[in-house]
Each structure stands twice: as C-alpha cells, then as structure tokens.
C-alpha cells in the first residue's frame, strides 16, 4: 500500500476483509458498484478462516435461553464443557450478561427467533451468485448435516425443538440410530438417534472461500488494502478512514470489522455491546474416521466437519480478552469429547486454532444504516453464524446501500436497539 492520503472517489469503502466484508464487496460489484476493502490482516485470515465450516439454517435459537441460563453455573465450572469464562473477563462481562438476561424473556426470545429465521431461510441460497462470480462452487457440499444425540434425554430435547423449527420454515427430520449409521458408518453404534437438516451445506475450505472472493473482487477492479484502521471520521462530503500508513476517503463507508467494529463506532456515539467469545478448532489431517457431512455433538455442542485438509472439530465458547494467549487445552479437549461419538478418531499431527467471535447479548447481528450519520453502514456481530449469514447479510445491505431503503428483515438488526 502506498503511504499518504488516498481517495477512493465514488467507491464504497469497506473496513473488514472477513467473510462479511468480502461477501458484501463482491455483492456490490455484481450490482455495478466499485469497492475498496481495508483490513489489518490478509483476507479471511481470522475467524472466517477457522470456523466450523457448515452453513446451518436451523441455528435460530439464541444461546441465552432460560433453560441455558439455569445451567450456566455448572457449565462455567466444567473445564471440559462447551462454555468457559476466564476470571479476568468477568468484570467486563457483567453489563453484557445483564443484557443477556433481558433478552431471555419469552416475548423477546420469540422476536429473536423470528428475526434469525428470516435471515437463515435465505442464507444458503444467497451464496449462489457469489460462488459463481468467484468460481468457488466446488467449495460447497450440499449433503445436509446431522445432530448426534448419545442419550435418549438429549434426543427428546432435540425432538421438542422440531415443531418450532418447522414453524419458521426450517426443514428437519428425526433419524433413528440405524438411519444415521446408514448415512455415516463411522459414527458410534450406541448413539440414541439424532436430527437431519437436509438443506444445510458445508464449506470444504473456509479460508480458500474467502481468498476466492478476494481474488474475484480484485479481478473485477476492486482494491483490497492491508492496513490497520485507527479510526473513522465524517467529512463534509463523506468519510475518512485513518490507518497507520495513510488516509482513505470515500463518500460511503461500511464497518464490517467484527469484534473491532465497536471501537471504531463508539467515538461516533454508537453503542455496540459486543463480547469477545473466542472459538477454537482442532484440525485433524489423519482422523481415521470418514464423514461425508458435518455432524454436531449434541451433548457438548460442537461440530466435526469434513474438509479438504482433514476433519475439523470446532466449537465451544471461551469468554476472554481478545488478545489473551490462546489456551491450547480448549482445542485439545475437542478430540476427547468427540471420541464417544466417533470411535477410533485419531489426532496425529493435529493443528490448533483460536479466533474471536463478536457476540451481541441478543444473538442478533448488527446490519444496517447508521442513524446519526449520512453514508455510514455496518454489518458485524454475527456470533456463531458469520459463515451462514455472510451472503444474506451482503444481499440485504447491498440493497440498502443501492436503494436507500433497508429491507424489512433488517429492522431487528439495527444498532439503535441498544440506545
């Protein structure tokens, strides 16, 4: 990148080169717009690289349900459980936790589920034009996904959710032990049963997908610059983005910087109460267990996804400072937790990874138009479903930018809900 002030003219400037920003950039290009993307890191090298890789339209239930809150104390003290809160992060998490409690009211839960399902029903199909433009169709596999239950109690819980899923347009089927073993012979023969989501797909290489999107943006005349963004500020005719190597200016600006979006927007008066919910994965290049689709381990709620480089175990939540050292144990326990579901699973030459999920207390992302400033837009805070919602978020926000009218689906995603 050349030092100094750089004007992008009538281009749209996007801060953030994760799957959210890249999907938006490509979608805007398909609508005839010019884009410049700036990020401190290489495209799709953060959470967009290390996610579980499966697009799940059924992820419509916010984690902070009343039932989950009752289990919270036990979960927090289970070192091998799906949730860990680091002691140093507890003071930071108090205010966020109070907002979680507020969002757990039954009436608010119903609103959140309705809003998430409105996105997720269209999420997977929204990728079609982006995959075609990026020549990346081969990176998606449409074999559905499974949720495995080891106990009859857990299976009953999952069965109870099916009516709500179907009421919101999500396709789901209950499968017996025999049905699941017919689909995935590598699964343990003593499972109780599970659910099958026929419309879900998975990505064979999330990092490569992001790179394909970046390559397509550059190929179509877009610009992707690597620089740390220090702050953003309005000007008389648009926006300036100050980086450590110079200044970018544009008439329209979109903040898609994940966890760091809050720091950029706070000086402008916008409240974005994000928590640093860190996720881990364990990549197994020689798993000795073959799967043809993602399987979610219901009791511990993490996934095993077959990818080009092996089998990826991904999930769990660790609330900690985003720059705190990675806890390798959080990756390693995934292998131990997966073996009862996948007997014979090996972890030779396993690779560990950690990334920061930007999580709002109500489990909804922030997507829309900044209500205090002209020409400022945002899309971030997608929590566990950034890959799932990347393309639909891009479709809806691109429509907003191009027409000036936000679609109805974005009403619930406005940042003003935190004012």
What are the start-end ranges of the H helices in 271-385?
328-338
Gyration radius of the chain over CA positions = 21
Each residue's pLDDT tens digit, 193-247 = 999 999 999 999 999 999 999 999 999 999 999 999 999 999 999 999 999 999 9
Confidence of residue 7 (pLDDT cuts 50, 70, 90): very low
Each residue's pLDDT tens digit, 58-90 = 999 987 655 555 655 665 556 666 678 888 888
pLDDT at position 199 is 97
pLDDT at position 74 is 60
Each residue's pLDDT tens digit, 241-251 = 999 999 999 99
Average pLDDT over residues 340-362: 96
C-alpha to C-alpha distance for 344 and 341, rounded to whole angstroms = 10
Average pLDDT, the chain: 93
More confident residue, 271 or 83: 271
C-alpha to C-alpha distance for 312 and 51, rounded to whole angstroms = 9
Q: Provide the token pair at 383.
A: 């929590």
Nearest CA-CA partner of 354 in 279, 296, 265, 418: 279
C-alpha to C-alpha distance for 163 and 170, rounded to whole angstroms = 10
Nearest CA-CA partner of 388 in 142, 122, 48, 55: 55
What are the start-end ranges of the H helices in 226-340?
261-265, 328-338
Average pLDDT over residues 248-277: 96
In this prediction the pTM is 0.94
Average pLDDT over residues 363-367: 97
pLDDT of 2 over the 50 cut:
no
């Amino acid at each position: 990148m050349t030092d100094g002030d750089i004007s992008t003219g009538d281009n749209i400037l996007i801060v953030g080169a994760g799957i959210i920003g890249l999907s938006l950039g490509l979608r805007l290009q398909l609508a005839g717009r010019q884009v410049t993307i700036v990020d401190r890191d290489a495209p799709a090298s953060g959470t967009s690289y290390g996610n579980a890789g499966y697009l799940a339209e059924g992820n419509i239930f916010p984690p902070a349900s009343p039932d989950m809150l009752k289990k919270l104390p036990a979960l927090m003290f289970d070192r091998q459980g799906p949730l860990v809160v680091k002691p140093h992060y507890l003071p930071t998490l108090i205010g966020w936790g109070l907002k979680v409690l507020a969002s757990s009211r039954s009436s608010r839960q119903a609103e959140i589920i309705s809003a998430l399902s409105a996105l997720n029903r269209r999420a997977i199909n929204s990728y079609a034009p982006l995959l075609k433009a990026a020549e990346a169709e081969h990176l998606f596999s449409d074999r559905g996904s499974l949720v495995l239950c080891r106990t009859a109690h857990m299976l009953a819980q999952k069965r109870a959710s099916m009516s709500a899923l179907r009421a919101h347009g999500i396709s789901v089927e209950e499968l017996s032990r025999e049905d699941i073993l017919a689909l995935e012979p590598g699964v343990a023969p003593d499972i109780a049963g599970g659910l099958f989501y026929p419309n879900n797909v998975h990505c064979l290489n999330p990092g490569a997908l992001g790179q394909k999107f970046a390559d397509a943006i550059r190929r179509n005349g877009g610009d992707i610059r690597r620089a740390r963004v220090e702050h953003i500020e309005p000007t008389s005719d648009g926006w300036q983005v100050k980086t450590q190597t110079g200044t970018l200016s544009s008439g329209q600006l979109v903040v898609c910087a994940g966890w760091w979006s809050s720091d950029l927007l706070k000086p402008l008066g916008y409240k974005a109460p994000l928590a640093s919910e860190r996720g881990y994965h364990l990549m197994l290049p020689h798993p000795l267990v073959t799967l043809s689709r993602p399987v979610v381990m219901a009791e511990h709620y993490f996934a095993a996804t077959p990818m080009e480089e092996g089998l990826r175990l991904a999930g769990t939540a660790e609330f900690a400072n985003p720059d705190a050292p990675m806890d390798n144990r959080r990756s390693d326990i995934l292998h131990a937790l997966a073996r009862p579901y996948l007997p014979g699973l090996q972890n030779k030459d396993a690779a560990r990874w950690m990334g920061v999920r930007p999580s709002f207390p109500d489990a909804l992302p922030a997507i829309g138009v900044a209500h205090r400033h002209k020409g400022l837009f945002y899309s971030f805070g997608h929590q566990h479903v950034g890959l799932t919602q990347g393309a639909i978020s891009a479709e809806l926000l691109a429509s907003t930018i191009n027409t000036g009218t936000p679609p109805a689906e974005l009403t619930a995603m406005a940042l003003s809900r935190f004012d």
